[in-house]
Amino acid sequence: MSIPDLQPAPEQSDLAGPGTATDGGGLSASEAATRLVRDGANVLPTRRPAPLWRRVASQLRDPLVLVLLAAAAFTLFTADFTDASVILFVIVVNTTVGVVQEVKAERAITALSALTAPDARVVRDGVEQEVPAAGLVVGDLLVLAEGDVVPADARVTESVALLVDESALTGESAPVDKTATGVLSAGTVVVRGRGRGVITATGAASAMGRIAAMMVTTAGLTPLQRRLAGVGRMLALFAAGLCAVVLALGLWRGQPVQLMIVIAITLVVAAVPESLPAVVTLSLALGARRMTARHAVIRRLPAVETLGSVTVLATDKTGTLTEGTMVVRALWTTEGDTVVDGTGYAPQGELRRAGTVVTGPDSPDLTELLRAAALCNDGSLRAPDGDSPDWSPVGDPTEVALITAAAKAGIDRRRLDVELPRVTEQPFDSIRKRMSTAHRLHDGRTRTVCKGAPEAVLQPAVLADPAELIARAAARAGELAADGFRVLAVAQADRATDPDNDAAEQGLQLLGLVAILDPPRASAAATIAACREAGITPVLITGDHPATAAAIATDLGIITAGDDVTDCRITDPGARAGQGSRVFARATPEQKVAIIDALRTAGHVVAMTGDGVNDGPALHRADIGVAMGKRGTEVARQAADLVLADDELATVVAAAEEGRRVYANIRRFLLYALSGGAAEIAVMLAGPFLGLPLPLLPAQILWINLITHGLPGLALGSEPVDPDAMRRPPRPPSETVLGAGLWKRIIRVGTVIAAVTVGVGVWAHATDRPWQTLTFLALGATQLAVALGSRARPGLRANPMLFAAVGVALILQLAGIYLPILQGLLGTESPALADLLIVGVVSSLGFAAIRLDRLIHPAKRPAWLGRSGGFRPAAARR
């Protein structure tokens, strides 16, 4: 896939002519209406909701459902309306639950998306007015101020200290200075200053829209769907072969043709676990329900299980692994380093020097540094209110971080502005890379304060300090930058007269350095550790600087100190991903997709988290895309399979646990159902050779199938998660659902069930007891004992539904041999109580067999994973 340049698009039409924004009065209302009709509304392209019939058809295309439809047709052909009704009911329930979940998820996403639709201010007919963003057209004169969301691509025509946060589009956490003739992209946010610009592209033609338009392809099958499709094909072939074998053997032994056809079809139905779609749907629905309770929205039901199969978790940095806030973490003055405590923008925290808390009187150097940083500042701090429970920034987050740090030292910004009122300023720009303000002192003198990038401030043309001090400060600034901090140098000077602009930034004295960082979330390190313990390899993909990426990744344990970081501007990220690199910096959207593709080509199941437009293509390409709900863009949410309403990465790990529970329960049901089906087939094939002419009647087989695959099978789908689920690595992506020895367990357990059943039948036949009835009872009871032994955790409280389901099934089994109406239907007779007790005791071998099998053949660690639980490159695995 080729991803276009993310710069704003070429103009959609010629802007020249009367009434355009170029004459300063903006478009006329009539011209704007004409262009709106011609170019369309300024909205992002979205996928049209699928019609109901298409949703239903997609559910029915599942191979296992197709097998069930064929089984239903067989049973209808033989006038077995009861079993046909059961099978069709399962199909209807499965389809209905899947469709309803998809519709509910789309409504939830739509509700989230509606929160992002902004209004905009434009000049039309010479008057500034507010219009819906959807009504903007090419040529409109856009008016922007601090806090505004840029609603369309535009060319800047007027700029006053205009600073724009482009992280949603590029992934860069630092705001970007915009000068006149610069460009603005839709979806970015003005964090400081004001400006005007002529709109050059709207809707699908904007940079954001062009990315959104690439995410309309149909999603591929999930790992679970691929695995179940394989099981469905295998069962279909097996059922057809079995039908032919049983029919041939029966005819060879001289049985009536009609009877053998019925028996063959009956065994086909027995071989196909018709409850599997219902079990899968129930497990996924329960998982989705649990995830909703944990503030996650599941867009596609199979996405719950997909996370359980994930081997690589690729995540962005800003706001996902980090708090998405700028915080002062360290200060440097000639007296040494100081650490600043606290989180977010809340003005609570302490300053520590050499491990000791310091205050204003103890550290005049720090007080002077932070007073200057708060004075030379256009940001402000908003206290918690009804709209926001947290302290929040107004303006450039970097500047607000300085105000917060000053507050921690007891410096009140509002009082400071009163004591030292600002008289002049030179705003920050991308050429000078610094900002200066002048303030009136109480004695009439002027204090000039300057802050900016170290390379712009730490130079003899600005500072009057000795060269040795400047060099020492520059060296320390370099060390802090290498640790991933954004570093600012602060200087000031008091003068008797007001200097002109050219002289204002000369002859200053250095006060110190301020190191700012978007700190890791408090839960991030634990989340990364949980991923590693579960065998999931965390991979960081960010648009930020390599040093910043390395610092965060090292802090969180994604890499160790000294490990390589891939700079995507100078290295092919796809090749590095295939070699096992785990941190990628300065990644563009196209490179993010290349990384995801390389990981998938290497055989991994990849989950990608993100919130920005730049993450959209990668979210769409990953096996499962995870978007942030609070601060995520509409494009990211539309591309994702799972939306985290609380923006907590830890929720992804919880979802992975849910996915593993779902997958384990599906395998648990398959072991139970297929071992019972295999036992039924073995009994029918082996019985005649051991003196049992027709071990079971067709109605008896269908009855056992109904009571064992019904409620007990569904109850197994709600088994709780195994306590060790997240201490084991994920299943190899290439492994089938019957892999890891499950088919061997099916044969072993099925053999025990068949041996118990045939043994009871031979004993009863030899002792002149109602052998067919006791065979029927033993087969059902042994399978129910296996169901009880299949539990993930012992005890009644873990899954009381299973005990209730087995109890109901056992009652139905006894009803089949004691109720006269069922005796006539099933061809059974009432056995003696002593015979009933004997069969009950022998049937408990089914419970013992499956529990012992788990102890004797424990699950083994997949060899394809490294010792640390992380992945190895494809070349190493070969």
- Catalytically active residues are 316
CA distance readout (Å), 110 to 105, 615, 618, 622: 9, 19, 21, 22
421-442 CB burial, b ≥16 within 10 A, e <16: eeebbbbbbeebebbbbbbbee
- The contacts found for 520-525 with CB under 8 angstroms, 24 or more apart, are 520/321, 520/322, 520/323, 520/552, 520/555, 520/556, 521/321, 521/322, 521/323, 521/648, 521/649, 522/343, 523/648, 523/649, 523/650, 524/321, 524/322, 524/556, 524/649, 525/555, 525/556, 525/557
Give the separation between CA 489 and CA 475, rounded to whole angstroms. Answer: 12
Judged by phi (left if over 0) then psi (alpha if -120 to 50, else beta), residue 52 lies in alpha
φ and ψ at 169, to 5 degrees?
Answer: -95, -35
Residues in the chain: 878
Helix (H, G, I), strand (E, B) or coil at 200: strand
Quote the DSSP letter at residue 798: T
Q: Which string of b and e fits 45-80 if b means at least 16 CB within 10 Å?
A: eeeeeeeeeebeeebeebbbbbbbebbbebbeebeb
Burial class of residue 512 in the structure, from the number of CB atoms within 10 Å of its CB (0-12 exposed, 13-18 middle, 19+ buried): buried
> Which residues make Cβ contacts (< 8 Å) with residue 92, sequence separation at least 6?
none
DSSP string spanning 247-294? HHHHHHTT--HHHHHHHHHHHHHHHS-TTHHHHHHHHHHHHHHHHHHT
Alpha-carbon span 10 to 427, nearest angstrom: 30
Q: Is 520 helix (H, G, I), strand (E, B) or coil?
A: strand
> Tokens 């789309």 correspond to what residue?
106
Q: Could you give the 3-state DSSP secondary structure of residue 609? A: strand
Question: Taking a C-beta distance cutoff of 8 angstroms, is the pair 673, 276 a contact?
Answer: yes
Rounded to an integer, what distance in angstroms lies between the CA atom of residue 775 and that of residue 163?
81
Which residues, in sequence order, are CB contacts of 40 under 8 Å at separation 6+?
A: 202, 203, 204
Are the beta carbons of 619 and 627 closer than 8 angstroms? Answer: yes
Give the contacts of 22 (CB within 8 A, at least 6 positions apart): 15, 16, 198
- Per-residue b or e along 151-160, where b marks 16 or more CB atoms closer than 10 Å to that residue's CB: bbbbbbbebe
The DSSP H or E segment spanning 183 is: strand 183-184
Q: Which H or E run includes 197?
A: strand 189-201
The DSSP symbol for 499 reads P
Rg (CA), the chain: 35
Q: What is the dihedral angle through the alpha carbons of 218, 219, 220, 221, rounded to the nearest 10 degrees? A: -120
- Report yes or no: 781 and 810 within 8 Å, Cβ to Cβ: yes
Identify the three-state secondary structure at position 367. helix
Place of tokens 């043309």: 461
What's the per-residue H, E or C state across 373-393? HHHCCCCEEECCCCCCCCCEE
Other C-beta atoms closer than 10 Å to the C-beta of 521 total 20
